[in-house]
Amino acid sequence: MAVAPPVAVPRVEAARAAGSTLARVAKYAVVRLVALLITVVVGVYLTILVANMGGYVDQLRRAQIREGVGLMALADPEWAMLTDQDRRERIERLVALEEERLGLGQPFLVRSFTYLANALTLNLGRAEQIMSDSGSRQVRLILLERLPATLYLFATGQLLLFFASIFVALHLSQRYGSFLDRLMVALAPTSAAPGWFYGIFLILIFAGLLRVLPFGGMVATPPPPDKLGYALSLLKHLILPVTAIVISAIFLQVYYWRTFFLIYSREDYVEMAKAKGLPSTLIERRYILRPTLPAIVTSFALTLIGLWTGAIVLETIFNWPGLGRLLYRAIGAYDTPVIVGSVVIYAYLLALTVFVLDILYAILDPRVRVEGRST
Amino acid sequence: MSSGRMAKRLVSLILLVAFVAALPMAAAAQTVRRGAWVDEVVAVEERDSAAAITRLEAGDIQVFASGLASPDLFRRVTASAVLGYERAYGLFTELTFNPAGPDLPDGRLNPFAVPALREAMNWLVDRDYIVKEIHGGLAAARYLPINTAFPDYARLADVARVLERRYAHDPARARQVFDAEMGKLGATRVGGKWQYKGKPVEITVLIRTEDERRQIGDYVAGLLEGLGFTVERRYATAAEASPLWYSGKPEEGKWHVYTGGWISTVISRDQAANFDYFYTKRGLPSPLWQAYKPAAEFDTVSERLGRREFASMDERKELFAKALELAMKDSVRVWLVERVSFYPRRQEVRLAADLAGGIAGAYLWPHTIRVGDQVGGTLRIAQPSMLTEPWNPIAGSNWIFDMMMIRATADYPTMFDPHTGLHWPQRLERAEVYIKQGLPVGRTLDWVSLTFVTENKVPESAWVDWDAKAQRFITVGEKHPQGLTANRKVVVRYPRELFREVRWHDGSLFSVADVVMSIIMTFDRAKEDSAIFDPAAKPAFDSFQRHFRGVRITSFDPLVIEYYSDLYYLDAEWNAFTAAWFAWPYYAQGPAPWQVMALGIFAERNKQLAFSSAQAKKLDVEWMNLIAGPSLRILSSQLGMALNQRYIPYEPTMRLFISRREALTRWLNLNRWYWNMGHFWVGNGPFFLEKVFPVEKVVQLRRFADFPDPADKWARFQAPLVASADVSGPARVTAGQAATFDVRVNHPLGAYAVRDMQEVKFLLFDARGELALQGPATAVRDGLWRVSLTGTQTGQLPAGATRLEVVVVPKLVSIPTFASLDVVVGK
C-alpha cells in the first residue's frame, strides 16, 4: 500500500477511475485472501507436523498402548492363569483395538493430510484422547464448551485493560512529566511479571489470609441454582483473576500508549489546535485519537482474537476452565484434532482480522489508498 | 374403691409405665442415623497440591483426595494444628535393567547382561539414603518383589528379613563384584574408567522426570560413575521413555538402566504371580520381557507360583522363599523403595482410607466420612481432576477420582476391608465356599464357611453361556451334556429383606431382575450375534469363559445363588466375594438398575451412543455419558419410547422376572428421576448424584435417606490398627543360660488383643549376621507376648553382638510391625 495525494478529476474520468479502483481493490482483496489462505494452510500443516513430532508421536502412542495394556494385565487376577499363547493373543487384540481407535493403522503422512483437509474445512472431527467436560469427543463441543469461561475471564480482563490503558495514557500524554505520569513510567517494569505471578499473591492475601474472596474456580461450590445468584457468584470469582490480568500489564500498556500518544501530541497540527485554544478533550479526540485510530483498532482486534488462546498458568492457578488449560492438556496428550482445531480457528480468526483491518485502514485513515498502475 | 375403678387405675398405670418405657426406645429409633453421616458431599477440582493444602488450612475444603509424596508438603501438613492425613502404600520404585548382551550387536558392552552385576547393584544402592534424602522419609526401603504392606510379606517376614540383611547396603562388596565380573568380561580400567575394546563402557540411565525418580536416577547414575562407568543421563517422561524401555529392542542398547515405577490401588492378598510377571518371558510379550533369561530353577518356581501349582500354604511358602532368593540373584529388577503417599484432610474429618488406594481408592469412604461427631452438614472434597471421562457403568470412566464419586453411589454384596484386603458381608448374609481337595485355600473371617470336597459337580440347569440371538441362557445340560465339574463352588445367601429394604435412588425396589440383567451383561456384549456386540469386550470375556463353569439361582426370595468356576483364590473370603459380585448389578464402572442398562442398550443398538470408547469411535457416535452432555438428549428420547412400550429388555429371558406392571413402575420412576435430577445416574449407595456441573467441575452428592444400614456400621475401620511393638529384656545373655524377652504390642487405641493377632515371631541374628534361631513368641495377655530362649538355644550362639528381631503380624491390618533389640552374647 502506498499513500497517494488526493487530486481533483472530471466526472467521466472519475467514474472510470472509480471502476478501476474497484477492480484494483477486488484484485488486491483476492491476492490478499489467497496469500492469507496459503499462510493459514502452511501454518496449520506445520502445526500438524509439530504436534505429531513429524510422525514420531505414532511411535510414542504405540509404545504407550502396549505399556498400558501390560500394566492392566498385572492388575488382572486371571492373568497368571492364562497360557503364554493366550496372554499374547489377548494383549495383541487389546493393542489392535486401541491402535484402531486412534487410527494408527494409516501412515502418518496420509493422516496428516486428512487432518489438514478436515481442519481447513472446519470439520473438526473427534478428539483422540481428551473429552469435553460433559463427556463428548467432538472437538467442536470440546472447544465451544470452554469458550464462554474463557470469554468471561479474558474478555473482562483484556477489555478492561485495553480501554483503561488507552484512556489513562491519553490523559497522561497531555500531562507529560506530572507525578502520575512519572509514577506510571516507574511502575512499567512491574509488567515483566506475568499475571499468574500476581495471581498467587492475590490468592494468598484475599483468599488465604483475609478470606474475603474465593481461592479459584468459576462459581461457588455448589453453584447457585438461580441465574442472578450464579452471575453474582461468577462476578465474585472474576475479581482476583481479572485483577491479576490487569495489574500484570496495565503499567506497561499505559507507558506504551502514552509514548505513542505523546508522539502525535507533538505534531504541528496539535500545537496549532492548542494555540487556537481548543478544549483539551476536543484536541484528544480529534487531533490525537483519530490519527492513531488504526493502531488502536489493530491492537484491539488482536486483543480480541487473542482471547481465543486463553492463558495456561493463570487458568491453572485460578482453577479456571478455559481454553488455555484445554490446549495444554491436548498438547500433553498429543491430541492432534484438538490442537489443530484450536489452531485453525485461531488462524482463520487472525487471517480474517488482518484482512478486515486492511479494509478498515482504508476507511479510517484517508491517507491509505490501494495503489493503481495507470496514472 | 370399687374393683372396677381399681382395675381401670391398674390398666392406666400399666399403660403409663409402658408409655414411659417406650419413650426412650422411640427416641432411640428416631436417632438411628441411616446411610451416610453427612447430608451432602461437594467435590471440586483443585489441580495444585500446595494450593489444596492452603485451602484445607483455610477451611475452604475438608479433604484433598489425592495421594501426595512431596516431603515439603508433608512437613506443612504435620506442622499444621488443623490438618491431619491418611497414609497409603501402593506405589513402588525400582531399577529395571537391560539384560541384552553382554556383547551388543554394535560391539558395545552391556554389563547388566550379567546377573552377578545386577545383583551387586543391590549392595551399591543405599535405600536408606533414598528414603531419607530423596523422599524425606515418605517411603520405606524395599528389597524384594513383594510389597511390604501386603499380606504375603507378613507371611514371609522371616525369609524376607534374612534376605534384606543379606542385601543391605555394602558398596565395598558391590565394587568387588564389579571389578571381578568386569574383568571376566574383558573390560579394563584405564585412568579410573572402564574400557572395552579400547572404548569407554557407556551406561545410559533412562531417568523418568515426573517425580522423585529423577533424583533417584541421578543418584544411581552418580554411583555408576563412581564405579568407573561413563554415564549418559537420559531424562524422559512416561511417553518418551516407553518406546525405549518397553517397546524398543534391548539389543539396540539405547538404555541400560531405567527408573521404573509401579502402582497397586488395592491390597493384593496374593503376590505369588509377581515373579512370573516381573522376571520371566511369560510376563509380557514386550521385547524387554522376551530378553529375560532366568535360571531354569527360578523359571520353574516362578511358573508354579504364578499358576498356583501347590497343594498347601506350606508348599507355597517354600516355593515363595526359593523364588525370593532366586529373584535377588537374577535382579533384572532391583527394588528400591515403597513410597508412602499421604492424603491431607482437616483434623476433624474422620473416614476409612484404604492402605493401598488411600482415600480416592477406598470403598468405605462414603460410609464412614464424618466431621467430628457431627451428624449432617456439607463436606467439601477436592480432587486433582474430575469428570475426566463419561460415566457409564459398563465401560465408562475408570479414572480413580471419578471412581471415588461413583463408589459413593453404589452398594455392594460385600465390602473391601481397607486394612487387610479381605471382604466383609455388606448386603449378603453369608456364603459357603466348596473347594476341590488339594487346593490351598484358607479362611480368616467367620461369615464364610470353607469346605473341601472331592468334586464340585455343576448342575445341568446352571447357566453357563448366552445365546445372544435367542436372548436366553444356555444351560450346562445343553452345552456340556457329558457334565461339568469345577474347582470352586460358592453358595451366596442374601437376607429376606433384600427385596423389601434395598432401593435404587429413583425409588425402585431392588429386584431379582437387576441380578439377572447383570448376569446377561457379562455375556451379551461379547457375543457376535448380539445387537450390542463390542469387540473390545471380547478379550476379557474369553479369559472369563476359560474358567467360568456356571451360575444358578436356586431361590428367588430369599435370593440364593450358586456360582461355579475353576478359578480360585487363596482366601475363602475372596472366593465368596468374586462370586457375589458376579451376580450383582454393579458393573465394571458403576451400579445400574435394569431400566438404566436397558436405556443404554437401546441407544447402542440404535447406533446413537456406545458404552465403550472403542465402539463409539467405530460407530462414530458419542461415548455414552449418563450424567451430562449430548448423551442425555438421546437417552431421554429413548426413555419416552421405553415408557410407552413398557419395554422389557431381553424379553425372552427377562419376562420371567419382570411383569409389564413392574416394567411400567420402573420406567415411571426413571422418568421422574430424570426430570428431577437431569441425569440418568441411578445407584443404590449411601449417596445419590444430585447435580453435576461439568465445566465448573463440581459434583454434588446427597445422602440417600432410604439406605438401609445404620451410619455407624463401618465405624471400626476409621483408623487402621497398625501395631507398634517394643522388645525389652536383658542386654547381655550368657550362652547356655535361658533368657526371656517381653514384647509389648499396642495399637493407637490401646493394647492389641491376642485374638486379633495372627502371629508374633522372633528371629535371632548372631554375631556373624546369620539367622541362628527363629520361632513363635507366646501370648501372655492382651498386649504382651514373650520370647523364651532355652539354655540349649543360647548355647549354640557365638559370642558377640546379636540382634533379636520380632515380627508382629496382626489380623486387623495387612502391615506387619518389626521391633528389635541388640543383645550381647557372652560365654
Query: Residues B569-587: what's their mean pLDDT?
Result: 94
Of B58, B276, B539, the CB nearest to A208: B58
Reported as a single tens digit per residue, the pLDDT across B36-66 is: 999 999 999 998 899 999 999 999 999 999 9
Which of A102-111, A130-139, B355-364, B460-469 is the most confident on average?
Answer: B460-469
Q: Do A90 and B697 touch (CB under 8 A)?
A: no
Residue B333 C-alpha cell reads as: 529388577
Q: Give the Å distances, CA to CA, from A227 to A220, A242, A339.
A: 13, 21, 33
pLDDT of B2 strictly over 70: no
Is the Cβ of A123 closer than 8 Å to some Cβ of chain B?
no
pLDDT of B556 strictly over 60: yes
- Give me the amino acid identity at B805: E
Of B248, B262, B629, the CB nearest to A135: B629
Q: Nearest chain A residue to B309 by CA: give it.
A: A81
- Give me the amino acid identity at A354: V
Residue A364: band (very low, low, confident or very high) from pLDDT cuts 50, 70, 90? low
Is the Cβ of A136 closer than 8 Å to some Cβ of chain B?
yes
Reported as a single tens digit per residue, the pLDDT across A299-331 is: 888 888 777 776 788 888 888 888 888 888 888
Q: Do B552 and B461 form a contact (C-beta atoms < 8 A)?
A: yes
Domain B724-826 CATH class label: mainly beta
Is the Cβ of A62 closer than 8 Å to some Cβ of chain B?
yes
More confident residue, B520 or A58: B520
Q: Give the largest Cα separation in chain A, rounded.
A: 99
Alpha carbons within 13 angstroms on the beta-carbon side of residue B102 total 17
| Measured distance CA(B627)–CA(B402) in Å, rounded | 12
User: Please, which residues have CB within 8 angstroms of residue A8's CB and are 6 or more apart in sequence?
Assistant: none
pLDDT of B16 strictly over 60: no
Query: Residues B509-537: what's their mean pLDDT?
Result: 94
Query: Residues A199-218: what's their mean pLDDT?
Result: 89
Of B58, B543, B631, the CB nearest to A211: B58
Is the Cβ of A78 closer than 8 Å to some Cβ of chain B?
yes
Is the Cβ of B628 closer than 8 Å to some Cβ of chain A?
yes
Reference B286, options B319, B260, B323; nearest CA is: B260
| Measured distance CA(B510)–CA(B429) in Å, rounded | 16
Q: Give the Å distances, CA to CA, from A106 to A52, A112, B30, B273, B300.
A: 14, 10, 66, 37, 42
The distance of B162 to chain A (nearest Cα, Å) reads: 27
| Measured distance CA(B782)–CA(A165) in Å, rounded | 76
Residue A12: band (very low, low, confident or very high) from pLDDT cuts 50, 70, 90? low
Reported as a single tens digit per residue, the pLDDT across B371-399 is: 988 999 999 999 998 888 899 999 998 88
pLDDT of B680 strictly over 90: yes
For B196, the 3-state DSSP assignment is strand
CB–CB contacts below 8 A, A to B: 189
Among A residues 312-331, those touching chain B with beta carbons less than 8 Å apart: 316-317, 319, 321
- Residue A83: phi and psi, rounded to 5, are -80, 165
Least confident of B143-152, B292-301, B499-508: B143-152
In DSSP terms, B816 is beta-bridged to none
pLDDT of A297 strictly over 60: yes
Residue A18: band (very low, low, confident or very high) from pLDDT cuts 50, 70, 90? low
pLDDT of B21 strictly over 90: no
Mutation target among A132, A201, A326 for the B interface, most CBs of B within 10 A: A132
More confident residue, B563 or B69: B563
| Chain B residues whose beta carbon lies within 8 Å of the beta carbon of residue A77 | 270, 567, 569
Give the 3-state secondary structure percentages of chain B, helix then strand then coil, rounded to 5. Answer: 35, 30, 35
Q: Do A221 and B698 touch (CB under 8 A)?
A: yes
- Per the prediction, chain A carries an average pLDDT of 83
Among B residues 179-198, those touching chain A with beta carbons less than 8 Å apart: none
| Chain B residues whose beta carbon lies within 8 Å of the beta carbon of residue A199 | none
| Chain A residues whose beta carbon lies within 8 Å of the beta carbon of residue B380 | 221
Reported as a single tens digit per residue, the pLDDT across A249-274 is: 899 999 998 888 888 877 888 888 88
Q: Do A87 and B695 touch (CB under 8 A)?
A: no
Q: What is the pLDDT of residue A288?
A: 80
Q: Do A135 and B625 touch (CB under 8 A)?
A: yes
Residue B408: band (very low, low, confident or very high) from pLDDT cuts 50, 70, 90? very high
Is the Cβ of B380 closer than 8 Å to some Cβ of chain A?
yes
Of A64, A91, A223, the CB nearest to B239: A64
Reported as a single tens digit per residue, the pLDDT across B189-234 is: 998 899 999 899 999 999 999 888 999 999 999 999 999 999 999 9
For B656, the 3-state DSSP assignment is coil
Is the Cβ of B246 closer than 8 Å to some Cβ of chain A?
yes
Reported as a single tens digit per residue, the pLDDT across B332-349 is: 999 999 988 999 999 999
Reference B58, options B382, B402, B404, B405; nearest CA is: B382
Among B residues 652-711, those touching chain A with beta carbons less than 8 Å apart: 691, 693-698, 700
Is the Cβ of A118 closer than 8 Å to some Cβ of chain B?
no
Q: Do B46 and B61 form a contact (C-beta atoms < 8 A)?
A: yes
pLDDT of A374 strictly over 50: no
| Measured distance CA(B590)–CA(B406) in Å, rounded | 6
Mutation target among A131, A139, A210, A213 for the B interface, most CBs of B within 10 A: A131
pLDDT of B76 strictly over 90: yes
Q: Do A63 and B243 touch (CB under 8 A)?
A: yes
The distance of A272 to chain B (nearest Cα, Å) reads: 57
Q: What is the pLDDT of residue A13?
A: 67
Reference A344, options A116, A44, A31, A121; nearest CA is: A44
The distance of A288 to chain B (nearest Cα, Å) reads: 44
Residue position matching grid coordinates 485510530: A293
Among A residues 40-59, those touching chain B with beta carbons less than 8 Å apart: 59
Residue A335: band (very low, low, confident or very high) from pLDDT cuts 50, 70, 90? confident
Reference B565, options B584, B546, B587; nearest CA is: B546
Assign a CATH topology to domain B90-339: Dipeptide-binding Protein; domain 3 (3.10.105)
| Measured distance CA(B711)–CA(B724) in Å, rounded | 30
The distance of A80 to chain B (nearest Cα, Å) reads: 5
Residue B667: band (very low, low, confident or very high) from pLDDT cuts 50, 70, 90? very high
Q: Nearest chain B residue to A96 by CA: give it.
A: B536
Reported as a single tens digit per residue, the pLDDT across A79-89 is: 766 777 777 88
Is the Cβ of A211 closer than 8 Å to some Cβ of chain B?
yes
Residue A375: band (very low, low, confident or very high) from pLDDT cuts 50, 70, 90? very low
Classify the C-alpha dihedral B597-B598-B600-B605 as positive or negative: positive
Percentage with pLDDT > 70 across chain B = 96
Is the Cβ of B243 closer than 8 Å to some Cβ of chain A?
yes
Classify the C-alpha dihedral B268-B271-B273-B278 as positive or negative: positive
For A223, the 3-state DSSP assignment is coil
The DSSP call for residue B744 is E
Reported as a single tens digit per residue, the pLDDT across B445-470 is: 999 999 999 999 999 999 999 999 99
Is the Cβ of B129 closer than 8 Å to some Cβ of chain A?
no
Mutation target among A85, A97, A151, A206 for the B interface, most CBs of B within 10 A: A97
Q: Do B402 and B391 form a contact (C-beta atoms < 8 A)?
A: yes
| Measured distance CA(B453)–CA(B490) in Å, rounded | 12
Count other C-beta atoms under 10 Å from residue B10's C-beta.
10
Domain residue spans in chain B? 90-339, 407-696, 724-826
Residue B522: band (very low, low, confident or very high) from pLDDT cuts 50, 70, 90? very high
Is the Cβ of A88 closer than 8 Å to some Cβ of chain B?
yes
| Chain B residues whose beta carbon lies within 8 Å of the beta carbon of residue A334 | 239
Q: What is the pLDDT of residue B247?
A: 81
Which of A345-354, B305-314, B748-757 is the most confident on average?
Answer: B748-757
- Give me the amino acid identity at B517: M
Residue A143 C-alpha cell reads as: 472447544
Q: Do B285 and A92 touch (CB under 8 A)?
A: yes
Q: Do B284 and A91 touch (CB under 8 A)?
A: yes
Is the Cβ of A133 closer than 8 Å to some Cβ of chain B?
yes
Q: What is the pLDDT of residue A1?
A: 39
pLDDT of A370 strictly over 70: no
Q: Do A97 and B536 touch (CB under 8 A)?
A: yes
Least confident of A111-115, B75-79, B96-100, B725-729: A111-115
Q: Do A317 and B569 touch (CB under 8 A)?
A: no
Chain centroid, CA B216 distance in Å: 26
Q: Do A90 and B569 touch (CB under 8 A)?
A: no
More confident residue, B198 or B688: B688
The distance of A31 to chain B (nearest Cα, Å) reads: 39
- Per the prediction, chain B carries an average pLDDT of 91
More confident residue, B806 or B311: B806
Which of A7-11, A276-280, B132-136, B715-719 is the most confident on average?
Answer: B132-136
Q: Nearest chain B residue to A71 by CA: give it.
A: B262
Domains in chain A, CATH or no CATH each: 139-332 (1.10.3720)
Is the Cβ of B210 closer than 8 Å to some Cβ of chain A?
no
Of B538, B543, B695, the CB nearest to A149: B695
Of A63, A133, A203, the CB nearest to B694: A133
Residue B114 C-alpha cell reads as: 550379567
Q: What is the pLDDT of residue A31?
A: 85
